[in-house]
Chain A
Amino acid sequence: DAGVIQSPRHEVTEMGQEVTLRCKPISGHDYLFWYRQTMMRGLELLIYFNNNVPIDDSGMPEDRFSAKMPNASFSTLKIQPSEPRDSAVYFCASSLRFGEGTTGEQYFGPGTRLTVT
């Protein structure tokens, strides 16, 4: 398996522009997570999906952020409009369902480094 795939790997944009980050989870995984990592705040869970349905979006910082999972093999995280404080590395991760012999360990993608100027 190719692992979790994220695109783009790097994104530089100007304040006010729309940014869309993409993720393809590992085939067969039921859960998909979006994280944000910064030096100041560390690793933050933004939202996670189970079987394409958003379960917990309490970590989404504000209405400028939205996430979708239209099918089992694709998810997007959108920021509109973007601001300099959104600059961070955004990770997507996926896992099998928790229980039934699995323990929910997560498999992370390589991340998207977002810079908003």
Chain B
Amino acid sequence: AQSVTQLDSQVPVFEEAPVELRCNYSSSVSVYLFWYVQYPNQGLQLLLKYLSGSTLVESINGFEAEFNKSQTSFHLRKPSVHISDTAEYFCAVSGWTGGFKTIFGAGTRLFVKA
């Protein structure tokens, strides 16, 4: 079985401050890990993904996430946030468990204040 836990439901932060959104997962099989972002009144869109290889992955808009196998974590970070980063962020895990399965976390709402 697979599960995803996002430890914070809401994260308020001031503009230009660093932020970390936490994600822990559990799985009995090898997994792929994802972060999706949902802007207001839109669908989810892929932000970044970990497949294999380097444990640090980056997105085009300055976010990065590090896969930590020993801690079963995939935390999302950005060194300096912008107002436009205000959105909900979902961590997800995919694995083959006799069938295709992707599990989404409950989401973390990032609110960037001026």
The residues of A with any CB-CB pair to B shorter than 8 Å are: 4, 31, 42-43, 45, 48, 50, 55-56, 91, 93, 97-99, 103-111
Determine if B99 and A106 form an interchain contact, defined as CB atoms under 8 angstroms apart.
Answer: no
- Cβ contact of B32, chosen from A31, A48, A50, A103, cutoff 8 A: A103
Residues in chain B near residue A110, CB distance under 8 A: 42-43
Q: Cα distance A55–B98 when bound, in Å?
A: 12
Supplied contacts A106-B44, A107-B45, A110-B42, 4 more A-B pairs, CB within 8 Å: A43-B44, A43-B106, A55-B100, A104-B94
The number of A-B residue pairs with CB atoms under 8 Å apart is: 50
Determine if B49 and A56 form an interchain contact, defined as CB atoms under 8 angstroms apart.
Answer: no
User: Does B34 make an interface contact (CB < 8 A)?
Assistant: yes
Determine if B43 and A98 form an interchain contact, defined as CB atoms under 8 angstroms apart.
Answer: no
Q: Cα distance A107–B45 when bound, in Å?
A: 7
Residues in chain B near residue A97, CB distance under 8 A: 100
Closest partner residue, chain B, to A91 (CB atom): B43
Determine if A111 and B43 form an interchain contact, defined as CB atoms under 8 angstroms apart.
Answer: yes
Closest partner residue, chain B, to A4 (CB atom): B43
